[in-house]
Structure 1
């Protein structure tokens, strides 16, 4: 894994003005990368496996339309098993990503019935909310890079 996912996905040379701009805010870079690593690659994933986390992130990145980010999540390892639990997690991710206001206690209860703990459900929800942030960050930085190239 690269040191900074956003820099990696931007694919800009180290001396590019957009890279320099990002490096002027080391705390923002550190926190974004830390959130990525903690949500996707925690040392202790609890009851939400790394494969399940990658599958959730992949679904959201695809729905958000960022092919590079989706490819990154697709490459993070073996696909999660096609199980009722994974189907429920993906349904939950789609609902939270597309219409979070429609999420109700029954959605949480359904995940708990499949063996997810409150910690696992919070981690999944945070991850589902984090990927659109990454997509927006990448879109903004790519737009800046195009503007600098013009």
Structure 2
């Protein structure tokens, strides 16, 4: 019987068994288990279906790079390197650099929130990488960039662009789940790393409260 795969969030956050952060995560054992199951379902599915394993790791590498989380980006880059040709990995590295910005940008529907509209740069895969990546992956990267930096601008037209590039409706659902999971995973890992590197919390403040505060602050 093969050993269970390591908990990915523990791995990315550098959490060792029996450490204080390990104990914090174990206080919500069901949440820990569900996060690991989500990772396995999205990145190690028994049947990849409409979203290939290469596409999954390429999008994950790209999204983690846009979030400026080196540990997470390197993890998915290593997975992509194992699965795909070097030129695909190199193209993703280039696209992370090209797509990096601050955000979030976008427009709200006309109304009171329009005062918070923020214009920002769009993103398209570089012409020199289009043949390497192919129509489906190009559309996936551009859609991921939209969700990361222009969430207010998500629209039926954006989904139609994916359909036009050859994505099925099932594939689009899986792609959306993957990007959403990455946002969660990256935020949790960043929060845990921040807590790990911080000085000891005051004795009257539980570490769980510190972790919750870090996540709620929006600084990760």
Give the TM-score, by structure 1 length.
Answer: 0.90
Tell me, yes or no, if the aligned pair for 2:63 and 2:179 is still in contact at 8 Å: yes
Out of 163, 175, 178, the residue aligned to residue 127 of structure 1 is 178
Cα offset, 1:148, TM superposition: 5.6
- Please tell me whether the aligned partners of residues 135 and 166 of structure 2 are also in contact (alpha carbons under 8 angstroms): no
Deviations 1:18-55 (A, max 9, x none): 11111222101111111111122222221110110111
1:22 aligns with 2:25: yes
2:74 is aligned with 1:71: yes
Moved over 4 A (4+): none
Q: Which has the higher contact order (CA 8 A, sep 6+)?
A: 1
Stretch of structure 1 that moved more, 100-109 or 27-36 = 100-109
Deviation per CA, 1:62-98: give whole Å up to 9, x if none. Answer: 1111111111111113345511221111101100111
| Match in the other structure for 1:96 | 147
* Aligned length, in residue pairs: 150
Measure, in 1, the Cα distance between the counterparts of 2:195 and 2:51: 36
State which structure, 1 or 2, has the greater radius of gyration over its C-alpha atoms.
2
TM-score when normalising by structure 2: 0.63
CA distance in 2, matches of 1:118, 1:44: 17
Considering only aligned residues, what root-mean-square deviation do their CA atoms show, in Å?
A: 1.9
Q: Which runs of 5+ in 1 are unaligned?
A: none
